[in-house]
Structure 1
Amino acid sequence: MAGGIVVFAYSEVGHACLKLLLDRGEKIVALFTHEDDAGERQWFQSCAALAQEHGVPVHTVEPKEGDAVERIVAALQPDLILSFYYRRMIPERILKLARLGAFNMHGSLLPRYRGRAPLNWAIINGERETGVTLHVMVKQADAGDIIDSEAVAIGPDETAGEVAMRIPAAAVKIVARQIDALKAGTAPRHVQDETQANYFGIRKPDDGRIDWSQSARRIVDLVRAVTVPFPGAFTFAHARKIMVWRARIVEGAGRSGEILSISPLIVAAGEGAVELLHFGFENESDHEASAAVLAALSQGDRLGDST
């Protein structure tokens, strides 16, 4: 049966956008999604479960796995391919199977912050605004023409998780505004300004290591960017790993990483100082974590040495 929409989706944005389409009664002919990773915090709702509730066929085969995805999509002859926070590049040959085009919801205000983990990178870099952009999918990641975008503010003390809770609503606004035009083939298109484009790669848990030679602002921004539900920022003391979940900028000066005070726990940065508000040794219970760290530290110790 020809026509309809093939959706590639995952995470909370994927769930929210898929739900909008289903609530509108759109003809969703297939969902491609991911198997959940047992090692990842599942803070988001399941796109697969939502699709199954509505009788939509669900596929977890990845585009890189031979031509299985291409065969499935080709047989469906879709009008549209829509991608909402799907985590794999979809080959160009699959994108071309949609009669009216393929479109992706990206988690930044393009052309800024192309690539992976755009919200985390934006907070690390001290941005005060992010957003989502619906764009044409082309061979190069996040480089196609812009259809629509919606800004989302980043508060000076907000974490990536807190901002992420507002991103789905912004994405849904775009889909609601543009779905009829997408189905009619009349959606507006604006070429991205390549002079404003930048690209960021995937972040790994090890990238959360605190560099105490950086400014207090930069350190606190890193903590905000990778705290729960993400793997977290960390440092070392006496060869033990300390997870830092919340911190703030305070006055103080000393050698980078030097503990200036135990209660409260204040550490000198390359510029300024950082008070650690929520922290603990790795894998220790939250209730006892902070007390255990404080008992192991002394004023004048330096954080950061893993040996």
Structure 2
Amino acid sequence: MKKKIAFATCVQLGLSCIEEIYNIGGELDLLITLPDHKAENKSGRIYLDEFSQRNDVPLLKVDNINDQITIDTLKEKGIDWLFIIGWSQIAKPEVLHTPKEGCIGMHPTLLPEGRGRAAIPWTIIKGLDRTGVTMFKLDEGVDTGDIIGQKTIDLPSDITATDLYEKVNDTHIELISDYWTSIVDGSIEPMAQDDSKATKWPRRKPEDGEIHNGMTMLEADRLVRAVTSPYPGAFFMDGQKVYRVWDASTNRESGDIPLQDGYLIMNQYEIEG
């Protein structure tokens, strides 16, 4: 019997997956998103009304994924799988266990490496030469569920968050295309993560984007590339002025911001305050 599938998202990564499902001939039985007024300034925020109407898919708007109306609607629709992608709220056990087969998420690292938040910035700050996206069953831990599939992304040394976000988006689409049929017909075989190889990356705060003179050129360059669009951008404080830096280069002899071993040159920036 064909599985009934719901999808919760409020950002472009999720919409890209939804569009791919329909591109390959799939269908969804329920869409879930935030009310229009919530998270209006969230990076990549999208709205599902037009897609819902065009494809005749019921659309549920909830303040929180754990609201009782979510659980009641999943039961009413007889949902087997719930995708939760690009959704910042943590699904509690009752939501995770309401769909008959469970919930599916995506994480932009090769799990079990890089569990936690801010995976794209951390990947660049750490100078990794590869990352990836993991499709996995959600459980009550943080990015700890069984792996359904993974795809690797090779990283050039000068990659920016803008470029990596686009690669991550494309890889989400590829994973949906590769595993959709197996999810629908019930033939997927999720594999447990190897916890002995797990790493956890901490949450990042806006103030973590500050460029300071104690940095090396490598550290400053990585920071600028890691938190550029769609993220808030790196910044440098000069008295009362805040320089919001979106693109930069380094030079050992001269530049705009002195560093431990050279200078940062601000190629694209805004002055705030």
Scaled by the length of structure 2, the TM-score of the pair is 0.89
Q: Distance in 2 between matches of 1:202 and 1:22?
A: 34
Residue of structure 1 equivalent to 2:270: 280
Q: Which runs of 5+ in 1 are unaligned?
A: 253-260, 284-307
Q: Distance in 2 between matches of 1:196 and 1:65?
A: 31
Spell out, residue by residue over 1:112-140, the C-alpha distance to the aligned partner (whole angstroms, 9 max, x if none). 11122211111122122222100011011
Q: Distance in 2 between matches of 1:29 and 1:210?
A: 47
Scaled by the length of structure 1, the TM-score of the pair is 0.80
Q: Distance in 2 between matches of 1:66 and 1:45?
A: 21
Give aligned-pair identity as a percent.
24
1:277 maps to amino acid: N
Residue of structure 2 equivalent to 1:219: 220
| Contact 1:85 1:106 (8 Å CA) reproduced | no
Q: Tell me whether 180-189 or 227-236 shows the greater mean CA deviation.
A: 180-189
Cα gap change, 1:64/1:4 in structure 2, threshold over 3 Å: closer, same or farther?
closer
Residue of structure 1 equivalent to 2:233: 232
Residue of structure 2 equivalent to 1:207: 208
Residue of structure 1 equivalent to 2:39: 37
Q: Distance in 1 between matches of 2:196 and 2:98?
A: 31
Q: Distance in 1 between matches of 2:67 and 2:48?
A: 23
What is the aligned-residue RMSD (CA, Å)?
2.2
For 1:112-151, what aligned pairs fall within 5 Å after superposition?
A: 112-151=113-152
Residue of structure 2 equivalent to 1:18: 18
Paired residue secondary structure (2:153) = strand
Q: Distance in 2 between matches of 1:124 and 1:138?
A: 28
- 1:77 Cα offset (Å): 1.4
Spell out, residue by residue over 1:171-205, the C-alpha distance to the aligned partner (whole angstroms, 9 max, x if none). 11111111121223221222112122222344332
For 1:73-222, what aligned pairs fall within 5 Å after superposition?
A: 73-222=74-223
Residue of structure 2 equivalent to 1:9: 9
Q: Radius of gyration: which is bigger?
A: 1
How many positions carry a matched residue from both structures? Answer: 270
- 1:64 Cα offset (Å): 5.6
Paired residue secondary structure (1:109) = coil
Spell out, residue by residue over 1:7-31, the C-alpha distance to the aligned partner (whole angstroms, 9 max, x if none). 1123222111101112334331111
Residue of structure 2 equivalent to 1:51: 52
1:276 maps to amino acid: M
Cα gap change, 1:64/1:182 in structure 2, threshold over 3 Å: closer, same or farther?
closer
- 1:207 Cα offset (Å): 2.2
| Contact 2:14 2:86 (8 Å CA) reproduced | yes
